[in-house]
Chains A and B, each alone.
Chain A
Amino acid sequence: AQSVTQLDSQVPVFEEAPVELRCNYSSSVSVYLFWYVQYPNQGLQLLLKYLSGSTLVESINGFEAEFNKSQTSFHLRKPSVHISDTAEYFCAVRGNAGGTSYGKLTFGQGTILTVHP
């Protein structure tokens, strides 16, 4: 089984400041990692993913995350945030264990990022 801990439930930050949203996971098998963003009254949008290869992954809107296997972390960072980045962010993990992993993402509790002008 997998579990995900998002260490901050809320992160306030000023516009153009850098931000880091922290995510740690626990799993007895190898994992695949995802970040999703949710705007009010909407579904989840995929921000970025780590499936294999380079441990540093980037999104088209300036976010990046680094898979750190030794620290079981997948923190999300952005060097300069905008007002439009205000949303709730979810870290998710899927295990690589055959049947019990099919289609199942385990999510953290979410981090609300609020960007102030």
Chain B
Amino acid sequence: KAGVTQTPRYLIKTRGQQVTLSCSPISGHRSVSWYQQTPGQGLQFLFEYFSETQRNKGNFPGRFSGRQFSNSRSEMNVSTLELGDSALYLCASVEGLSPSTDTQYFGPGTRLTVL
């Protein structure tokens, strides 16, 4: 099976712009989670989608949003970019249909730099 695909791998934006990141999960997986990784805050959960519905959300401002399509591909969007949004954004493809069996497999990430 192919792994998790994230595009683009690298992105440079300026403050105030918006950005959209894409994630294609492993075939057959219906759930996707997103995380932000920074040197200062570490790995933080953004949100999770299952069957096109957001089921869980982390403590991020409303500038961070996401969606999932019927083919399980997911996008996340950050509007009005700030310098502090510079980070590695990781998507995880979730195997399993319940918390007792779920296992997350991560993509290579998108490195976002905000200037």
Interfacial residues, chain A to chain B (CB-CB below 8 A): 32, 34, 36, 42-46, 49, 51-52, 90, 92, 94-96, 98-110
Contacts and interface: CB of A to CB of B under 8 A. Distances in A.
Contacts of B58: 104
A109 B106 CA distance: 17
A44 B105 CA distance: 8
Contacts of B103: 34, 46, 49, 51
A107 B56 contact: no
Interface stretch (B13-21, B40-48, B77-85): B40-48
B50 A102 contact: yes
Secondary structure class of chain A's binding surface, majority of residues: mixed
B44 to A, nearest CB: 8
Interface residues of B, number: 30
B104 interface: yes
Contacts, number: 78
B24 interface: no
Contact of B50 (A32, A43, A45, A103): A103
Contacts of A100: 56
B110 to A, nearest CB: 10
A10 B93 CA distance: 29
Contact of A46 (B33, B99, B104, B107): B104
A49 B35 CA distance: 19
A110 B41 CA distance: 11
B99 A32 contact: yes
B87 interface: no
A39 to B, nearest CB: 10
A45 B102 contact: no
Nearest to B110: A43
Given A34-B104, A46-B105, A51-B103, 7 more contacts: A42-B108, A43-B109, A96-B99, A99-B55, A103-B32, A103-B92, A105-B35
